[in-house]
Amino acid sequence: MMLHRPPPVADAGAGASFEAFVRAQGPLLHRTAWVLTRHEQDAQDLVQAALTKTWGAWDRIDEPVAYARRVVAHEFLTARRRRWAGEVPAAQVKPVERAVGGPERWDERLTLAAAVARLPRVQRAVVVLRFLDDLSVRQTAQALQISEGTVKSHTSRALAALRVDPHLHAVEHDEEDRP
């Protein structure tokens, strides 16, 4: 029994252009997914799902970047809370959080990451798309497939939550105390 359809048939030109697209946009999509998930393999999954679907629709989409970003956002928002998500088996002991940008900033990054992670998923996605990917309200609405008004309200609520976050507040004071 044939269980799966064969991969999409595409000519060599399509394959080359898709590979070029992945080389150019893949790392950016991965950055977005990484900030959304803060989990290496979850981020890889988001990007890979986006790229696979993008390749499947490669011959009929006009804006592959927007399409891939929309898939990333959709996959992120629709990923159900799996019960096993609370466990992280790994082969090596790793630090709880990575911080490679220098010791002077790592506590700030961890604090910001935790604060962003505490946001509801839609607000988190709005914040990341708007302030990391620098999308407009309209582009964010298209990526998340919600209305522009909803994007604005989520943005407002997310920023309000970040402003009152006690840990960010502590960081702020730490910053102020620095010479």
For residues 100-159, which are near other proteins according to CB under 8 A?
100-101, 105, 107-114, 116, 127-128, 131-132, 134, 159
9 binds other proteins, rule: CB under 8 A: no
Contact 112, 168 (CB under 8 A): yes
Diameter over CA atoms, the chain: 71
54 binds other proteins, rule: CB under 8 A: yes
Least Å from the CB of residue 2 to other proteins: 8
Rounded Cα distance, 125 and 155, in Å: 10
Of the CA atoms within 13 Å of residue 156, those in its CB half-sphere come to 6
Write the DSSP assignment of 141-169 as a string of letters.
Answer: HHHHTS-HHHHHHHHHHHHHHHHT-HHHH
Least Å from the CB of residue 150 to other proteins: 19
Rounded Cα distance, 104 and 58, in Å: 44
Least Å from the CB of residue 141 to other proteins: 18
Q: Which of 59, 63, 88, 149 binds other proteins (CB under 8 A)?
A: 88
93 binds other proteins, rule: CB under 8 A: yes
* Segment near other proteins (CB under 8 A); pick from 11-19, 59-67, 140-148: 11-19
